[in-house]
């Protein structure tokens, strides 16, 4: 397995469960080399987000440029961007960098309900960033916000996934974690056919950072040369293990175990 160079463009989570911190843990665990362009610093723990300090767009741009120019990037993921200015800046910068497989996690609202994407930024993300994505990975509320379509039943999720691809995304993974029932169903549409990934719903509050972790894992697998359906399958299996082995930290929505059972010092 090659050492894939994976860049994450996202916000920092001081609690370590999501954002840049979760991404870098995931990339390292799965055999990649992680790099970061930080979009914002947050004061955050398992109980919520208590402050956000965005970085200026030029700082985000420069972080991306120097990494691409020197080390190179085999795949990248995007998480929290925050503002329309940063969304537009990132899109412009990536267009200049040339084609790099991009996994877009359209982070809009934190687990505790705190808004992480300005309302006016949604249109910019849809118009400028979505067409650059090899894969977009919205949960059900994000799917509805991006498409304006319901995303409850399998048929509705299929139509929403088709809509996301029609907007320009290479593929869409509609995640079912916010749904109901004993089985979590994620639906992948690659522009030609659908793939369904199912897992038993784990009854736990320790799910902070699952979206960040999944998108970082998919980006790592893509950077290592895995085809898209295989990358999603591998990433889903990893996230399920990380939830199952969660360390039980914090008083709220706790983090995953990004080591996923790997013994220390081995």
Query: What is the set of active-site residues?
Result: 175, 207, 209-212
Q: Is 53 exposed, middle or buried (0-12, 13-18, 19+ CB in 10 A)?
A: exposed
- 3-state DSSP assignment of residue 35: strand
C-alpha distances (whole Å) from 249 to each of 12, 47, 63, 162 are 18, 11, 32, 38
CA torsion, points 23, 25, 27, 29, in degrees to nearest 10? -150
Q: What does the alpha-carbon distance between residue 15 and residue 6 come to, in Å, rounded to a whole number?
A: 22
Q: What does the alpha-carbon distance between residue 169 and residue 73 come to, in Å, rounded to a whole number?
A: 20
Q: Is 25 exposed, middle or buried (0-12, 13-18, 19+ CB in 10 A)?
A: buried
| Phi, psi dihedrals of residue 243, rounded to the nearest 5° | -70, -45
Cβ contact 234:226 at 8 Å: yes
């Amino acid at each position: 397995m090659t050492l894939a160079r994976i860049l994450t463009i996202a916000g920092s989570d001081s609690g370590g469960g999501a954002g840049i911190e979760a991404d870098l843990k995931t990339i390292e665990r799965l055999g990649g080399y992680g790099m970061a362009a930080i979009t914002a610093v947050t004061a955050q723990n398992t109980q919520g987000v208590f402050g956000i300090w965005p970085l200026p767009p030029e700082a985000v741009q420069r972080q991306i440029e120097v990494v691409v120019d020197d080390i190179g990037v085999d795949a990248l993921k995007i998480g929290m961007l925050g503002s329309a200015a940063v969304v537009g800046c990132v899109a412009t910068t990536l267009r200049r960098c040339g084609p790099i497989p991009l996994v877009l996690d359209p982070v809009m609202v934190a687990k505790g309900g705190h808004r992480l994407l300005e309302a006016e930024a949604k249109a910019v993300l849809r118009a400028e960033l979505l067409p650059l994505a090899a894969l977009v990975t919205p949960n059900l509320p994000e799917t509805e916000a991006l498409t304006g379509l319901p995303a409850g039943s399998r048929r509705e999720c299929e139509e929403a996934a088709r809509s996301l691809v029609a907007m320009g995304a290479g593929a869409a993974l509609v995640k079912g974690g916010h749904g109901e029932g004993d089985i979590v169903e994620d639906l992948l549409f690659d522009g030609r056919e659908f793939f369904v990934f199912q897992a038993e719903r784990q009854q736990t509050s320790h799910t902070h950072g699952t979206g960040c972790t999944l998108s970082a894992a998919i980006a790592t697998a893509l950077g290592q040369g895995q085809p898209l359906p295989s990358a999603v399958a591998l990433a889903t299996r990893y996230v399920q293990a990380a939830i199952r082995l969660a360390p039980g930290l914090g008083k709220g929505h706790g983090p995953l175990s990004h080591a996923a059972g790997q013994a220390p010092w081995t």
